[in-house]
Structure 1
């Protein structure tokens, strides 16, 4: 420790005041990340190892000795990843040195606080699932859990469940994705859209693992999948709607009311089964519902829906009771959203069988039917196409005019007028 004296004369006395000021020298240097380079660029070649280093004063010699730690940085494959991990370790060592770390003293603070925990493939995926769970809806959590478990089943069959997550290779991921679309019994026999959904879910989990530095690469991001062409539910004709109505009023009154909600509120099936008594404001004639985008949406109660609620004493019902259940009673239905939707889908399956409708028809067909009916009804009343679109936007819930126009085109609503007389060709 160096020092020097500062002398101050205190006037008018001639006696000086002597103050000794000590100037201390740091016992350690700045912590840095060593980055090997080739032709001036960072290198990740096998013999070019990255490490964190600093200098600390040797108490015996007074000289600064170099200390370095590879910190497992070289497990990571890219320059970006190594820089990110290296920066974390630089900050960690800087904090430890400032708090008393002394590499010459065994009892001082040690960097074990910052040691990496290793995860097996099974442990890592469960960690990712548990830590993302709070940001998901129940339906999303169920979807991720099912697809994660299918992947873990495949991992177990291939005796990989206890392997370090960082030892999972791209070839393993490719093999799993190929296994998904292989026909039974050698594969799972899923379609292109389902395979893409597996990729989406597992990529989300591995993205969390990469972000938390548990593994280095999200291989699922690099996998190409092909979605199936979606099957569009065909709209029903007016005659078919009337026949279905008459049938349901006799054989399944609750399903009749369920479909009324599809037609007159434009809610999806998953949104309808979420409805509880507390979501209904009969006095102001509106309901609130959690949509697929997780935001609450307000829907106007009109005609038949108002009549439905006025026919029951809703004020005496429990606020958490579901509007639609498997018992036709207003009570809390604790099943999963998927099983609730499937329940009403199976009930409508009996209707399809009765009338001979094929797989192109479903409950969702009524939403398309309702959109076409409104569209043509407004046109007949003399509104321009743009005016019709603007009137329908708050009814259907589409975010933009473009989205609604595309939807109407897809269900056959925006067909051109008869243009046969406009031709000049003779054929």
Structure 2
């Protein structure tokens, strides 16, 4: 017993010496997570917290004072409603904050009156934003920010105080984009910069996000036309013979109403044949469960799904594919483009058009026996739209609802 206690005390002393040494070398404590207590209470605000050495305040012994910094919430509570999703997101946020600290970032200015440079502040905002973005979205943010930082560098503002960047600076940059590309590209860049400046405002690095007051420009949206019934039959028959892999890819878009990028994310582990369901990361949700209809399920029975991390779609079928998500999607887009050119379809008909086609078909079939509200309510369960408003806008955009013949009223 005496040996055990002695060993235990020695272990504590060793640990304390190690921690003291670590804290004496670092200017911060390791970021930690508050997750609502032992019960993981989702009604409480989860956050990341840490302490940092104050640049001027000292203890009686002359050591710099460790000050606990304001908790970092970063919309984790608002954006993630389940325990699993919130834990994953807040762990990523903690890791990103720790990475920033290791890279030398400080919540205090290097000198008491100094401020953050535009480059440092915006890179800080991007790193925090990373915890809420998928890989493709993060790459898009990073690319757009790099163009903005290059613009600031040429204007001599990259190393200037972040508060030197004002509404006119951003407007001039957006106008330069408009002359070189399109209103859509200009608007998308505006949205990215606004999201980053909101983070700077939330962290009190700027007074307010003025980009919110820069209006987006009107754009003409490109329509993906629906296919006719005969058109679908002809394409299916052609692909049955010429490209069965492309056909199965399209059937996931047609029958499960997935977007092409979502089909590219599917792995063997996402398919549950026994329960006829699949799990997928969608545009609006970190993880969603969808029913696999029997018309599609029967085509999956013979697939080899034994390796969980195999992608369902590669250039040759189920298997491993060391390629970025965007490149995987582009592969199938280009693959289909060759096919539709052979069959006489133009740019308005895409893989995405199959989603429009079959949602229209399903809605019109529901409407034969159901009221508009009943039809839309049933359709929401299938398509995965999060709100009735979003579904109604989508149905209007694809002209799913058509009036009956009104000739008698014209006489």
CA RMSD for the aligned pairs? 2.9
Per the alignment, residue 337 of structure 1 pairs with 325
CA change 1:386–1:109 in 2 (3 A) is: closer
One of 391, 405, 411 as aligned partner of 1:418: 405
The question of whether the paired residues in 2 share the 8 Å contact of 1:289 and 1:297 is answered with: yes
Q: How far apart, in 1, do the equivalents of 2:401 and 2:204 lie? A: 51
One of 255, 273, 283 as aligned partner of 1:292: 283
What secondary structure, in the 3-state scheme, does the structure 1 residue paired with 2:274 have?
A: coil
Per the alignment, residue 153 of structure 1 pairs with 150
Shift of 1:181: 0.5
What secondary structure, in the 3-state scheme, does the structure 2 residue paired with 1:125 have?
A: helix
Residue 205 of structure 2 is aligned to residue 211 of structure 1: no
CA change 1:226–1:329 in 2 (3 A) is: same
| Residue range with higher mean Cα deviation, 234-243 or 393-402 | 393-402
Residue 266 of structure 2 is aligned to residue 270 of structure 1: no
Per the alignment, residue 366 of structure 1 pairs with 354
| Residue range with higher mean Cα deviation, 195-204 or 248-257 | 248-257
Shift of 1:365: 0.7
One of 221, 235, 239 as aligned partner of 2:230: 239
Per the alignment, residue 319 of structure 1 pairs with 308
For structure 1, the 5+ residue unaligned runs are: 1-91, 102-106, 183-188
One of 118, 126, 139 as aligned partner of 1:142: 139
One of 119, 125, 130 as aligned partner of 1:128: 125
The question of whether the paired residues in 2 share the 8 Å contact of 1:409 and 1:415 is answered with: no
Per the alignment, residue 335 of structure 2 pairs with 347
Per the alignment, residue 230 of structure 1 pairs with 221
Cα deviation, 1:17-48, whole Å, max 9, x if unaligned, reads xxxxxxxxxxxxxxxxxxxxxxxxxxxxxxxx
Q: How far apart, in 1, do the equivalents of 2:367 and 2:195 lie? A: 45
- Aligned residues between the structures: 316
The question of whether the paired residues in 2 share the 8 Å contact of 1:100 and 1:109 is answered with: no
Per the alignment, residue 407 of structure 1 pairs with 394
For structure 2, the 5+ residue unaligned runs are: 1-52, 68-106
Cα deviation, 1:177-210, whole Å, max 9, x if unaligned, reads 110011xxxxxx2221221110111111122223
Q: How far apart, in 1, do the equivalents of 2:320 and 2:350 lie? A: 26
Q: How far apart, in 2, do the equivalents of 1:299 and 1:113 lie? A: 47
Q: How far apart, in 1, do the equivalents of 2:113 and 2:280 lie? A: 44
What secondary structure, in the 3-state scheme, does the structure 2 residue paired with 1:220 have?
A: helix
Shift of 1:384: 4.0
Q: How far apart, in 1, do the equivalents of 2:239 and 2:194 lie? A: 44
The question of whether the paired residues in 1 share the 8 Å contact of 2:130 and 2:138 is answered with: yes
Q: How far apart, in 2, do the equivalents of 1:148 and 1:276 lie? A: 32
What secondary structure, in the 3-state scheme, does the structure 1 residue paired with 2:298 have?
A: helix
Per the alignment, residue 45 of structure 1 pairs with none
The structure in which a higher percent of residues are helix is 2
What secondary structure, in the 3-state scheme, does the structure 1 residue paired with 2:172 have?
A: helix
Q: How far apart, in 1, do the equivalents of 2:249 and 2:173 lie? A: 40
The question of whether the paired residues in 2 share the 8 Å contact of 1:389 and 1:404 is answered with: yes
Shift of 1:339: 2.1
Q: How far apart, in 1, do the equivalents of 2:118 and 2:272 lie? A: 49
Task: Give runs of aligned pairs for residues 74-85 of structure 1, distance below 5 A.
Answer: none
Per the alignment, residue 274 of structure 2 pairs with 283
CA change 1:329–1:226 in 2 (3 A) is: same
CA change 1:214–1:267 in 2 (3 A) is: same
Task: Give runs of aligned pairs for residues 99-118 of structure 1, distance below 5 A.
Answer: 115=112, 118=115
Instruction: Work out which of the two has the higher radius of gyration on C-alpha atoms and give 1 or 2.
Output: 1
Q: How far apart, in 2, do the equivalents of 1:399 and 1:169 lie? A: 36
Per the alignment, residue 395 of structure 1 pairs with 382
CA change 1:113–1:127 in 2 (3 A) is: closer
Q: How far apart, in 1, do the equivalents of 2:108 and 2:330 lie? A: 50
CA change 1:391–1:135 in 2 (3 A) is: closer
TM, length-normalised to structure 2:
0.70
Stretches of 4+ aligned residues off by more than 6 angstroms: 107-114
Shift of 1:120: 2.6
Residue 168 of structure 2 is aligned to residue 181 of structure 1: no
